[in-house]
Amino acid sequence: MSNSKLLIIGFIWPEPNSSAAGGRMMQLIDLFLKKKFEVIYTSPAKFSENAENLEHLGITQKQIQVNDSSFDEFLKEEQPTHVLFDRFMMEEQFGWRIAEQCPEAMRILDTEDLHFLRKARQQAYKDKKVFKKKYLYTDIAKREIASILRSDLSLIISKSEMEILVNQFQVNINLLLYLPFLLKPLKDKDTENLPNFDTRQHFISIGNFLHAPNWDKTLFLKEEIWPLIKKELPEAELHVYGAYTSQKVEQLHNVKQGFLIKGRAPNAIDAIKQAKVLLGPLRFGAGLKGKFIDAMQAGTPSVTTTVGAEGLCGDLPWCGEIANSAEEIAKQAILLYSMPKRWKIAQRNGFNIINKRFQRKVFAANFFKRLKKLEQDLNLHRQQNFVGQILMHHSTQSTKYMSLWIESKNKDSAKESI
């Protein structure tokens, strides 16, 4: 694959210190660089001062525009062999241009998480109802699944999401690949140097505040869970970390209550390993939650919900406790914080989950084996996905002419302003 060129179309510029999505993207980039791919990273988003400097890794960075044919010229010049769309919205915007200008390029979609699943759970929560499958059948589900069907391969981060796509929506499994977080094994020397139970103190919560499940989780902690914990453990504090704190987040800061908003953590794992217990009571969400992976690597047990733990531990015991009501979450958090033996078992469970379920070596080999097979019979693969061809045909027509119309309007407006 030494002559291969990967074009990534990013929803945003990757910020591995701000979100699990940023970390995931850097893991994927690293996979391709190790296989000697030339990598170009593009995005219509504004550059961020917190983004990874990709040029230091030998990656070309380019800002692109939506609804602009300059992207077609860029494609003709670069002629990528592989294209990776970061989330389905990028495939919607740019997929038809790739299909027109680089028909032989393999189109890969990284879903990050199933957006329609997260939104469905959020809606059920807003409705104060138990989540049921009927919540899945939305316009965003149609859009996201159409994007999966148009792509040659979609990377799915959670086995739970694989099951929903295959069993609930009858997506052909040949279009999907389970590719979770890709981690190096934890060795004894890594875990022995971590702070022990006696040298740690306080609770921690972490997560990007632009992400709705994280903001809701913070409110849940502040209003219902933390008062119960603080009553039993009056000396304890909750340190709340997260990128993109806003005024509404900072207003939750209260020294007297021991509820401390700390803002962005320079290094998530370093912050987490000082704490005794991580609290992540997510009431809705999808995908794999990077905060729990960071906690496992930091040797910090976690208390979360069924949604928070989804897809992470499989049949293995969780690295802490799983509970769903405020009272039960608080109770389990207090026990974990107060009982060294229970805490140590939870910590070991976390190391075990990392080493048995997220080994980079295993999944990387499987990924490139799959890519090689697709490269050898891409035309046949596409023929067998005729529904995807139909969707690409109709999407190309509708999106193309809408995009050309917007581009024309933009040019007319520019002329009028001169």
* Per-residue model confidence as pLDDT tens digits over 7-61: 999 999 999 888 888 999 999 999 999 999 999 999 999 998 889 999 999 999 9
Q: Which residues contact 117 (CB under 8 A, 6 or more apart)?
A: 136, 161, 164, 286
Three-class secondary structure of residue 153 per DSSP: strand
CA distance 418 to 407: 17
Going from the N-terminus, what domains does the chain have, and what CATH number goes with each?
Answer: 5-183+360-417 (3.40.50.2000), 188-357 (3.40.50.2000)
Q: What is the DSSP letter of 359?
A: B
Alpha-carbon gap, residue 203 to 239, rounded angstroms:
6
**Interatomic CA distance for residues 278 and 217, integer angstroms:** 12
Query: pLDDT tens for residues 257-315?
Result: 999 999 999 899 999 999 999 999 999 999 999 999 999 999 999 999 999 999 999 99
pTM: 0.90
Predicted confidence band at 234 (pLDDT cuts at 50, 70, 90)? very high
Backbone φ, ψ for residue 196 (5° rounding): -90, 180
What angle do helix axes 70-78 and 88-101 make, rounded to 10 degrees?
70
Q: Angle at the Cα of 297 (from 294 to 365), degrees rounded to 5?
A: 90
DSSP for 174-218, please give it. GGEEE----BPPPPHHHHHTS--GGG--SEEEE--TTSHHHHHHH
Beta bridge partners of 280: 304
Is the four-CA dihedral 121, 182, 359, 108 of positive or negative sign?
A: positive
